[in-house]
Amino acid sequence: MAKVEIKHLTKIFGKRPKAALKMVKQNKSKNEIVEKTGSTVGVYDINMSIEEGEIFVIMGLSGSGKSTLIRLLNRLIEPTDGQLFIDGQEITKFNKKQMLDIRRKKMSMVFQNFGLFPHRTLLENTEYGLEIQGVDKAERRKRAEKALDNAKLLSFKDQYPSQLSGGMQQRVGLARALTNDPDILLMDEAFSALDPLVRGEMQEELLDLQANVRKTIIFITHDLNEALHIGDHIAIMKDGQLQQVGTGEEILTNPANEYVETFIGGVDRTKVLTAESIMIPALTTNIAVDGPTVALRKMSDEEVSGLVAVDRNRKLLGYLSSDSAVSARRERKSLTEVIAEMPTVSLDTLIADIMPIIYDSQTPVAVIDSNNRVKGVIIRGAVIEALADTEGDDENA
């Protein structure tokens, strides 16, 4: 069973929600709807399910409704329509008191601007969630200190937030959320206010954390690189509506519509695309059977200067260049003696990691599976083409 199940979730802000709803169904744009009705569509007809223990990333540009969506999940914003299930319970039907309980026990939230209380020390901030539950002081101190210790901030516990850097503040925000030991972490652009270096560190920490505690994390970002880096599943939103849900790979290789395609255009592909997506079929020669003459004939037919040498089972043996084949024929050697070594990568190696290999290599790079079988090759041209698509996106890296 899914941890979180969202059905037809809709939020319309403003006074004439019905008229606005009608216009959304007619596929009118957000601007048009605001002008005509004075209502804003926050999110419209969202359907998705989030599995236990996964990092589910919701992304989109500013105004796409992603922040509204995450606030609908813990009902900081009341939905206009639709249902929301957590562990099979329909929490959209919960009363105020039940909702307080859900917020206290099941879900915690981390905010873009950290949301730390400036008049409280780090420790007092961290224990806030337990404090309002009425947990006694010694107990909540202990748990808060442990959370701060995990965030490597214990020695700062009596400082005030204003005395800390952004990264440290966000670690406190995260520690505060984790002190309650919730099942679900809602993270609203949690790392967007941090500088790129710290942001990278925090992403790694989050992944480490996830590996240890297996929370269900719903993560909002407008940065596709961040989404691809940490997300198990990614949902892309536009104008309050869901465009596509899938793994990073699915979204990149198979964008559902033009919007998603444009949207992902901005990503650093070298860190997303794998060997598999840019390899071309390998031209092979089975050197157990073929001799130099056959090999050279193949080369001239295919207009190439080398072949991948394989055995009967298509397992990789090495690289046969035209020069080696010529010298083998002259000196009457077997092809096995003249083949050169060939660099290899696996199917899911990132382009970013292939680049240095191909730069140093005289030969193309072979793509092999776990049984050493040749699946294809990567030539320099393909890498350059992949790079060309990411031109000017270096600052997003």
Partner 1 sequence: MLNIPQLPLEDIVTKGVNWLTNHLSGLFNLMQHVGQTVMDGMTNALVAVPMPLMIAGITLIAILTTPKKYGFPLFTFVGLAIIANQNLWDDLMSTLTLVIMASIISLVIGIPLGIITAKSPKTAAVVKPILDFMQTMPGFVYLIPAVAFFGIGVVPGVFASIIFALPPMVRMTDLGIRQVPVSLVEAADSFGSTTWQKLIKLELPSARNTILAGANQTIMLALSMVVTASMIGAPGLGRGVLSAVQHANIGSGFVNGLGLVILAIIIDRFTQKLNSKPGEKAETKPWKRWTILATLVVMIGGGVVNAVTTKKETGQRVNLGYVEWDSEVASTNVLAESLKQHGYNVTMTPLDNAVLWQSVANGQVDASLSAWLPITHKTLYDKFKNDVNVLGSNLKGAKTGLVVPDYMNVNSIEDLTNQADKTITGIEPGAGEMASAKKTLSSYTNLNGWQLQGSSSGAMAIALDKAYKAKKDIVVTGWSPHWMFSKYHLKYLADPKGTMGRGESINTFTRKGLKKENPKLEKVLDKFHWSKDDMESVMLAIQNGKSPKEAANNWLKSHQKLADSWYQ
- Site for partner 1, rule CB under 8 A: 71, 74, 76, 99-104, 107-109, 111-120, 128-129, 131-133, 159-160, 162-163, 180, 186
Least Cβ distance, residue 58 to partner 1 (angstroms): 17
> Of 66, 6, 50, 84, which Cα lies nearest the Cα of 185?
50
**114 vs 319, beta carbon nearer partner 1:** 114
Q: What's the angle, vertex CA 167, arms to CA 166 and CA 169, rounded to 5?
A: 65
Least Cβ distance, residue 228 to partner 1 (angstroms): 27
Least Cβ distance, residue 102 to partner 1 (angstroms): 8
**100 vs 280, beta carbon nearer partner 1:** 100
Which residues are paired to 378 by β-bridges?
A: 365
Sheet holding 284-286, edge to edge: 284-286, 306-310, 316-321
Identity (one letter) of the amino acid at 210? Q
DSSP-derived letter for residue 286 is E
**43 vs 279, beta carbon nearer partner 1:** 43
**32 vs 139, beta carbon nearer partner 1:** 139
Asked if 220 and 72 count as a contact pair (C-beta separation under 8 A), the reply is no
**108 vs 210, beta carbon nearer partner 1:** 108
**146 vs 373, beta carbon nearer partner 1:** 146
> Of 253, 244, 259, 258, which Cα lies nearest the Cα of 273?
253
Residue 392 gets the label, from left (phi > 0), alpha (psi -120 to 50) or beta, of left
User: For residue 377, how far is the Cα from the chain centroid?
Assistant: 27
Least Cβ distance, residue 128 to partner 1 (angstroms): 6
Q: What's the angle, vertex CA 336, arms to CA 333 and CA 287, rounded to 5?
A: 105
**166 vs 200, beta carbon nearer partner 1:** 166
Q: Phi and psi for 272 in degrees, rounded to 5?
A: -120, -50
Least Cβ distance, residue 180 to partner 1 (angstroms): 7
Sheet holding 55-60, edge to edge: 107-110, 184-188, 216-221, 55-60, 233-238, 241-246
Least Cβ distance, residue 173 to partner 1 (angstroms): 8
Least Cβ distance, residue 395 to partner 1 (angstroms): 27
